[in-house]
Amino acid sequence: MLHTANGHYVEVEENVTLYVEDVGEGKPVVFVHGMPVNHRIYEYQQSVLPQHGIRFIGIDLRGYGRSDHPLNGYTYDRMADDIKAVIDQLNLNDVTLAGFSMGGGVVTRYMGRHRGHKVSKLMLFGAATLSKLPEEAVNGLIVGLQADRPQTLTNMFKGFFHTAPSQGIENWLWHMGMEANVHATIETVKAIGSEDLRSDLEAIRVPTLMLHGVHDQVCPFPAAEQAHEIVSTSKLVRFENSGHAPFYEEREKFNREVIEFVLA
């Protein structure tokens, strides 16, 4: 494992290394991003949570951000294994594990596949748990990524918000999306369309906080309500003025909910 000023490069399997941002001291919260962004999607949490005694640990999944872009390994199983490798190599305990969108699906798989190893609390943000992409949507997205990835990402990010953000925010997201490896992006789209997480949800036993925008068009709110019914230890918080990005659109409320849950 290599260290930088605020991060680590963690080898999760032979010749595959992930970048992990690590800021602050206190209760560790491991944040997992969605497709096609990276850990920097949590910028408005990374700049706030360490001031409240929370250690921010943001993973760039394989194929994304500053992590390696191998040919294989873009299933939820393998990405869940990657998270376990990071948690173990950083010697983390009493972890709050958090996932957004596809990352919510990955951390849900982690809870089932690894029986919640080292995790004492779970957070799901606009999570892709029971809101699988239909086959035609998956195929259409793959065609778009192969034919014109820049425009496809532009269209995708416009659907993130309930209220149109600034051009700067759109540009910021677009650049994150373009930093991702195109093969990794396509393979994870396939995973989102094929993974079944119901049994993983049923395996969750730890306190779970679900934060979800009621206007979410990517992972619709009714799917969050269904997941909430399955996870008996969960609390579902509605974000009335948010689409798929409550961490940005209602970030003060979002951060308050996160801080209260982690420190409780």
| Of 8, 162, 228, 244, catalytic | 244
Catalytic residue list contains 216? yes
Q: Rg for the chain (alpha carbons), in Å?
A: 17
Q: Is the pLDDT of residue 132 over 90?
A: no
Give, in degrees to the nearest 5, the angle at Cα 163 between 220 and 248.
80
Catalytic residue list contains 101? yes
Average of per-residue pLDDT across 162-186? 96
Contact 86, 59 (CB under 8 A): yes
* Res. 7 pLDDT band, cuts 50 70 90: confident
User: What's the structural domain count of the chain?
Assistant: 1
Question: Across the beta sheet with 7-13, what order do the strands follow?
Answer: 2-3, 7-13, 16-23, 54-59, 27-32, 95-100, 119-125, 208-213, 234-239
| Of 101, 131, 234, 242, catalytic | 101
pLDDT at 133: 75
pLDDT at 188: 96
pLDDT at 4: 63
pLDDT at 3: 65
Average of per-residue pLDDT across 223-252? 97
Alpha-carbon distance 231 to 153, whole Å?
33
3-state helix, strand, coil in the chain (%, to 5): 45, 20, 35
Alpha-carbon distance 199 to 206, whole Å?
15
Tell me the pLDDT of the chain averaged across its residues: 95
pLDDT at 2: 63
pLDDT at 6: 74
pLDDT at 139: 93
Q: Is the pLDDT of residue 112 over 70?
A: yes
Average of per-residue pLDDT across 44-73? 97
pLDDT at 76: 97
Q: Residues with Cβ < 8 Å from 43, sequence gap 6 or more?
A: none
Alpha-carbon distance 11 to 188, whole Å?
20
pLDDT at 134: 80
Is 0.85 topped by the overall pTM? yes
Catalytic residue list contains 67? no
| Of 68, 131, 216, 228, catalytic | 216
* Res. 113 pLDDT band, cuts 50 70 90: very high
Contact 179, 64 (CB under 8 A): yes
Alpha-carbon distance 156 to 218, whole Å?
9
* Res. 54 pLDDT band, cuts 50 70 90: very high
* CATH number reported for the structural domain that contains residue 234 in this entry: 3.40.50.1820
Q: Is the pLDDT of residue 83 over 80?
A: yes
Residue 193: name the closest of 105, 126, 134, 142 by CA: 134
Alpha-carbon distance 54 to 47, whole Å?
11
pLDDT at 5: 59
Structural domain that includes position 61: 2-263
Longest dimension (CA), the chain: 48
Matching residue, tokens 């004492």: 120
Alpha-carbon distance 211 to 127, whole Å?
9
